Structure formats: structure tokens, C-alpha cells
Amino acid sequence: MRGVVGRAHTASRFHLDKWAPSDAAARFVEYFWSVQWDLRGQDPFDSTVITFPAMHITHEWGEDGPRHGFALPNTLVHGVVERVFHTTIAARGSVVGARFLPGGFTARFRRDAAAFTSRVQPVDAQLFGGPIDLDDDIGAAARRLDDLIGAHTGGPDDTYIAVTALLDRIRDDGRLHRVEQVMALSPWSARTTQRIFRRYVGVPVKWVLCRYRLQQAALEIESHAEVDFADLAIRLGWYDQAHFINDFRAMLGCTPGEYATRYGG
């Protein structure tokens, strides 16, 4: 899955699956996913993900003790992670999650996404209009989450529809490298665009631009031996190689060269 650091080295450590939501939930959810692992008798495994501008709701259980600072089992809201998402898996465990479309969590629940940025917290009783109790079973928990998210009267609001179109353009158009280019495409003023991004997405426009480029850079480094970092930097919109290296190190904690040594080719 794009965004998983060192994806070629993770296949033997856990099983990852994903599937489409129902039509009702698909207004807000990109897909459902699950992770299962059994590392009993093995060393714990550290996993890193270059996160997307998306929020998640997860239901988590297992034998590995607290996760994200909370006892198991638990149902959690994950805000957008500004740097990279690190987690350590051990013993035996499972997670089932809903990955929301960027802006989808706010459109569904009317909660400010920025209030959750870089935070994980248990689902509160008010989120779904009352307490929820999910089974520690991937299929049953996923179906219940799908029903709860899809049980929303009325369609998505106009702001969500417009910001989704803008986010899709940022993701798909490799020529968009600067905030000014995005503002030229926005139906709102620059100030309003930034405010809407913070409320619906949880992060500013510049962060979204940089994150998609970093994900592509990491994927190319992993996929192609002896990649030319200077060419990669310019092609993906950085002013020069030095700026690319600085952003890469800030997000991943290592330089592109160090990343290539660990995971490249």
C-alpha cells in the first residue's frame, strides 16, 4: 500500500487487507482496511507510514497491551499525522479501520479535523449519538462501522464537495507544486481556502502538496535502484535538491540516500 515505508520488507510480518465501503458510507469513507499479525515468539516489529491527509476510525484488540496509550480493546479516532505514523506491533493483534476521504470525517460528524491533528483518542459517546460496542472480529466490526457511518441523513455539504475536488486535483496533477497554483484553482479566497483546509482536512494546503510529493519520492526510491536525487527533486517540484533533502529528513528522519540504503531498489 502506498505510504508504507519499506513495503517490500513488511509482507511477512502482518497481513493487510482493504475493501470498498457500502454506497451509503462511501460518501465519506475511501475504504475499510484491516491488519492482523501473530509475532508470538518473535521480536516486535516497528512499522512506519507516510500518512495521507486522511482521518481514520479504528477498532483494535489483541494481546500486546496498550496501543497509542489506550487499553485494549478500544475504538479510536486518528487525526492526520503531520510527520510519519510510527507503531510497534508485538505478540498477536488485530485492527479494523475506516479510512475517511480527506474532509470526509468533518462532513460526516461536523467535527473540526484540526482538533484531531497528530492525536489519537477514543471515540466519545456523542460521535455516533450514543455509545457503541464493536465486536473483536474484523468482519462484524467492519459491518457495524459501515452501518454507523452510512447512517447519515442528507447528502454531503457543498463545501466538502468543493474541497474534495480540489484535493483530488492536488493528488492527481503532478504539475501542481506551489500553494499559489492551488489558490488559483480554488473557488474561495486564499484565506478562506486555508481555513477550510484546516477545518475539513486538518492541515494547510502546503502540507498536502508536500506530503503527496514525498510519498511519490519514497515510492520511486524503493522501486528504482540508483535513482538520481537531483532529477527526482526537480521533477517532483522542489526548488533544488537541498530543499528536497531537508523536507525528506524532516518527515522521515533520514536523508533520501539513507532511505535508499535501507529500502531502495
Q: What is the mean pLDDT of residues 47-72?
A: 91
In contact, 99 and 56? CB cutoff 8 Å: yes
Half-sphere exposure at residue 259, Cβ-oriented, CA atoms within 13 angstroms: 28
Q: In terms of domains, do 56 and 141 share one? A: yes
How many beta carbons lie within 10 A of that of residue 23, not counting itself?
Answer: 8
Q: How far is CA 27 from CA 21, 32, 103, 135, in A?
A: 9, 13, 11, 24
d(CA 75, CA 91): 20
3-state class (DSSP) for residue 211: helix
Q: In terms of domains, do 184 and 104 share one? A: no
Q: How confident is the model at residue 9 (pLDDT cuts 50, 70, 90)?
A: low
Q: In terms of domains, do 243 and 187 share one? A: yes
Domain count of the fold of the chain = 2
Residue 2 falls inside a structural domain: no
Nearest Cα residue to 260 out of 232, 225, 234? 225
Share of the chain above pLDDT 90, in %: 63
Q: How confident is the model at residue 1 (pLDDT cuts 50, 70, 90)?
A: very low
Residue 147's pLDDT is 97
Nearest Cα residue to 32 out of 101, 81, 90? 101
**Lowest-pLDDT range of 113-122, 143-152, 239-248:** 239-248
Q: Residue 251 pLDDT > 80, yes or no?
A: no
Q: In terms of domains, do 226 and 180 share one? A: yes
Q: In terms of domains, do 265 and 141 share one? A: no
Domain boundary among 86, 116, 150: 150
Residue 182 dihedral angles phi and psi, to the nearest 5°? -65, -40
Task: Give the residue with greater pLDDT, 248 vs 187.
Answer: 187
In contact, 188 and 199? CB cutoff 8 Å: no
Residue 108's pLDDT is 96
Q: In terms of domains, do 88 and 163 share one? A: no
Domain boundary among 150, 165, 182: 150
d(CA 67, CA 74): 9
Residue with cell 457543498: 158
Q: In terms of domains, do 22 and 77 share one? A: yes
Q: Which three cell numbers mark 210?
A: 508536500
Domain boundary among 109, 133, 150: 150
Residue 5's pLDDT is 53
| Residue ranges making up the domain that contains 172 | 157-265
Residue 201 falls inside a structural domain: yes
